[in-house]
Structure 1
Amino acid sequence: MPDADRPQELPARLLTDPEMLDACRVRDFARVFRLLRTRAGIYPSMIARRCDLTPSRVGEVISGRRQLQHMDVIERISDGMRIPGHMLGLARRPWETPQALIAVERQAPRLPDAEQQSPVSLPGPDVDSILALATRTKCSAATLQGFRSSIEDYWRRDDQHGGEALRPAIVGQLRHVVGLLKESRPPSIQISLYGVAAELARLTGWTYFDARQYNQARAYFTEALQLARKIDDRQFLANVLACMSLQATYQDQPKDSLTYVTAAQDQARSAPGITPRVLSMLSMREAFAHATLRNRDDTHRAIGEAHRHFERIRPSDPDPTWVRYFDEPKLIVDTGIAHGQMGEASTAEPLIANALRREDRTNQRGRAFHSFWLARTQLDQGKLDQACRTATQALEPASAVTSERVSGHLREFYGQLTPHRQEPVLLAFEARLRDFLPSISGTLRP
């Protein structure tokens, strides 16, 4: 991006202008773009370049022939024009400093007619270039640790509440880090930044996958692969491919699922310092793929390999942070799910029940997800009363998290109850479902 088109701070007088504040508050981008032109000298072509929009689209907005409502576009405008997030109803943007860009409303001054206003004189490109050098974003070991800590926090909150509400902040941070990669830095810092960007891209893909928005998920997973490839991080490449394998099982593409996880295992085996925990997780994903294909012997073989790898784990292993979630309860519950996918309900039920007793109770999505799986294995064995009780217990954590995957499992379980519609235990379950998840219950039954 040419220096003249790099995002620059807007004049404070524009950010605190009542008309600008009101236009941003109601997201009237026709007014916002006109104010940028008349009071900051930023013309439509510059707006288009900085916000990754076409000039014709910007022109249609200014003329009132098009409105901008998609959240991704609003975020690009905030980031490209350096409009603080709170002015547009967004979360705080990663580039905002603590106080410098907080807009404070003030009484509107008496302004001349629009025809008499002249564009504000701004520094020329040469001065902009000099200032850009002086204000280049610093990136130290502490900055990188801050990025990693925020990623860990995103994952924790994703488990508790789902990723939909987090996604704007994650995408904003991803774009910020990708922007940092364009600057020249020491190799060690640059490599770490690529790793951070790859994990943010994978996390974004995961939030779309959990929402069952598969095309968007695949796009971000692919971006994560490209970023990891830049630094030849084969373990992380394997991790992303494993995510894509899991998504393929949800899309009823079992052959693609097996292809992805096989490629993941190839990457992992060629990676220096591969740990048993990573290999165990990948073997379990292979078991899922085979179970979806109804390959019984291969499913059991992959389950056995997952457990053998897990037994080799030592506390001193240098596990990547992204695989630490794969603990013993996770291994057990995934083993139960793989057996459940194969129709081996009597084997699956005690495994899933055992894991649920040991599972972290703050992981609301996991508790709901695994409880519905347990209920399905009980129903497959004809234990209607027990299945409905288990599903009822799953409603509370399910109501605490926004996850279309969890909602999908609830719908699948409810569909299996069709032959028992008049049973009292099912009527009781439906009553609790209406209490906890009225928005879903209204879509289940005509």
Structure 2
Amino acid sequence: MPGPQPYTGLPPELVASPEFQRVCRERDFAQVFQLAKKRAGVYPSRIAALCGMTPSRVGEIISGRRSLAHIDVIERVADGLRIPGAMLGLAHRPWEIPDTPTPPERTADRSSASVDQAEGGQEGGEPSGIDDLLTLADGKVTRSTLVALQSSVEDYWRRDDEHGGASLRPAVVGHLRYVTQLMNGADGALHRDLQSLAAELARLAGWAYFDARQYSTARTHFTQALRLSRGQDDYLFMANVLSCMSLQATYDGNPTDAVALACKAQDSARAAGDQPLVMSMLHMREAFAQATLRDSMACHQALDRSRDAYENARGREGAAPSWVRYFDESKLIVDTGIALARLGEAARAEPLIAEGLRRESAAQQRGRAFHAFWLATAQLQQGSLEAACQSASLALDFTASLDSPRVAGHVREFHGRLAPYAREAPVISFEQKMREVLG
């Protein structure tokens, strides 16, 4: 005969109900237990087992003959029935917000190609994987090999956009090692094309590690991408890599470096000729960094330059590199709003982020998750707690299909801002959904 089903917590609709929130706030445990029985089917014997009490004591509490006053017992009830701590006047319980483990940084990653290998060298010793062995046994590179590899890179970028890049790292790094080995068996134009492909794979690896919040490893791969592109005069590619490094520096708490990297990217793009769409995106990178520095004037000037460059790009988007075509009018609008939110200009930021989010494609799950959290941030800055929690709940819907520690980081940062309102009903409902999605 099967035993009782594992207890997973009270129904969300009960936890969010005004009646249950009231009796929790009053610490009326007789009513807490009665509602658990009537609305969730958790009978006194089960309550006793979950909360470390005897059934007779639970019965006495329900009948009003006994009360709960000791904090350790109240904590046992919160943990046993999975009642959020804030509802009972407690700190957040350890089980409330599940951790998202981030793999530790490694100073030496044998699955990654070193910078020296990327430039055509190779470590001594025996080959370490099946790709190494196949390459040594074959030794031939054809144009069709290159086409197939380029197709793989395009597929990686699509999957990164839809589901996040963290889970792509092993495959991308493996392809990077494979291509750097193929370079040794090619010459002339084919060698140059393989070197360009290796540079793009290194940039993609950097982006995947950035999305995983492993910033040191990401920086190593971005640097590798720059070195691979050296000597090819591909100024637009270098501008692209530098723009990624600028965004990472903003996230990593180095906005001064982020400004310098964004400006260097702009110089590189200018060397490539007239590229207004690229310049629009790069000015926006600078605006993000200036906003993080709280330099309002510099941020607004960068936003103006971004908007002017975008106007110059209208009708010419097809001539821009494929990697920058994501930066359309919707992206310009929402990124302008995010920069203003970073500055603290929430009233101006909110309608822009909302409009950009409304326009965005449903396939852009990670971007929509980020933007919904920024919308929630702008609303919270204006004191609109209920609207902020609704927007954050929408972001959680997008987050459910993503493998992106960077997005998870946004979840936790926003949740931290809700601490002063921990006992408010919208926050309790948001936390309940957060546990469901991240748990």
Determine whether 1:137 maps to 2:140. yes
Measure, in 2, the Cα distance between the counterparts of 1:263 and 1:206. Answer: 19
Measure, in 2, the Cα distance between the counterparts of 1:164 and 1:432. Answer: 23
Determine whether 1:336 maps to 2:345. no
Contact 1:333-1:351 within 8 A present in 2 as well: yes
Measure, in 2, the Cα distance between the counterparts of 1:340 and 1:259. Answer: 22
Aligned to 2:264: 263
Counting only pairs closer than 5 Å after superposition, residues 1-400 of structure 1 correspond to structure 2 as: 73=110, 81=127, 84=130, 135-140=138-143, 142-187=144-189, 189-272=190-273, 274-313=274-313, 314-315=315-316, 317-400=318-401
Could you say what secondary structure the match of 1:312 adopts? helix
Question: Which structure 1 residue ranges, 5 or more long, are not aligned?
Answer: 1-68, 85-92, 98-127, 439-446
% of aligned pairs identical? 50
Residue-by-residue CA offset, 1:278-319 (whole Å, 9 max, x unaligned): 111101001111111111111111111111111122346422
Distance 1:327 1:182, change over 3 A: same
What is the letter of the counterpart of residue 287 of structure 1?
Answer: A
Contact 1:275-1:317 within 8 A present in 2 as well: no
Distance 1:180 1:431, change over 3 A: same
What is the letter of the counterpart of residue 303 of structure 1?
Answer: L
Residue-by-residue CA offset, 1:324-368 (whole Å, 9 max, x unaligned): 221221111111110110101111111111111111212221111
Aligned to 1:425: 426
What is the letter of the counterpart of residue 271 of structure 1?
Answer: A
What is the letter of the counterpart of residue 397 of structure 2?
Answer: E
Contact 2:139-2:182 within 8 A present in 1 as well: no
Distance 1:222 1:418, change over 3 A: same
Counting only pairs closer than 5 Å after superposition, residues 429-444 of structure 1 correspond to structure 2 as: 429-438=430-439
Measure, in 1, the Cα distance between the counterparts of 2:108 and 2:252. Answer: 26
Distance 1:308 1:200, change over 3 A: same
Contact 1:367-1:394 within 8 A present in 2 as well: yes
Measure, in 1, the Cα distance between the counterparts of 2:429 and 2:142. Answer: 57
Contact 2:111-2:174 within 8 A present in 1 as well: no
What is the letter of the counterpart of residue 207 of structure 1?
Answer: A
Contact 2:286-2:302 within 8 A present in 1 as well: yes
Measure, in 1, the Cα distance between the counterparts of 2:437 and 2:328. Answer: 30
Cα RMSD over matched residues? 2.5
Contact 1:94-1:173 within 8 A present in 2 as well: no
Measure, in 2, the Cα distance between the counterparts of 1:73 and 1:292. Answer: 35
Residue 192 of structure 1 and its aligned partner are, at CA, apart by 2.0
Measure, in 2, the Cα distance between the counterparts of 1:173 and 1:248. Answer: 26
Aligned to 1:415: 416
Could you say what secondary structure the match of 2:272 adopts? coil
Aligned to 2:78: none
Could you say what secondary structure the match of 2:166 adopts? coil
Residue 96 of structure 1 and its aligned partner are, at CA, apart by 6.2
Residue 83 of structure 1 and its aligned partner are, at CA, apart by 5.3
What is the letter of the counterpart of residue 311 of structure 1?
Answer: E
TM-score by length of 1: 0.68
Could you say what secondary structure the match of 1:166 adopts? helix
Measure, in 1, the Cα distance between the counterparts of 2:410 and 2:179. Answer: 35
Residue 75 of structure 1 and its aligned partner are, at CA, apart by 8.4
Residue-by-residue CA offset, 1:82-131 (whole Å, 9 max, x unaligned): 755xxxxxxxx59869xxxxxxxxxxxxxxxxxxxxxxxxxxxxxx9xxx
Residue 71 of structure 1 and its aligned partner are, at CA, apart by 11
Residue 376 of structure 1 and its aligned partner are, at CA, apart by 0.4
What is the letter of the counterpart of residue 304 of structure 2?
Answer: G
Measure, in 2, the Cα distance between the counterparts of 1:396 and 1:304. Answer: 33
Residue 183 of structure 1 and its aligned partner are, at CA, apart by 2.8
TM-score by length of 2: 0.69
Distance 1:218 1:75, change over 3 A: closer
Distance 1:425 1:261, change over 3 A: same
Aligned to 2:116: none
Measure, in 2, the Cα distance between the counterparts of 1:301 and 1:208. Answer: 31
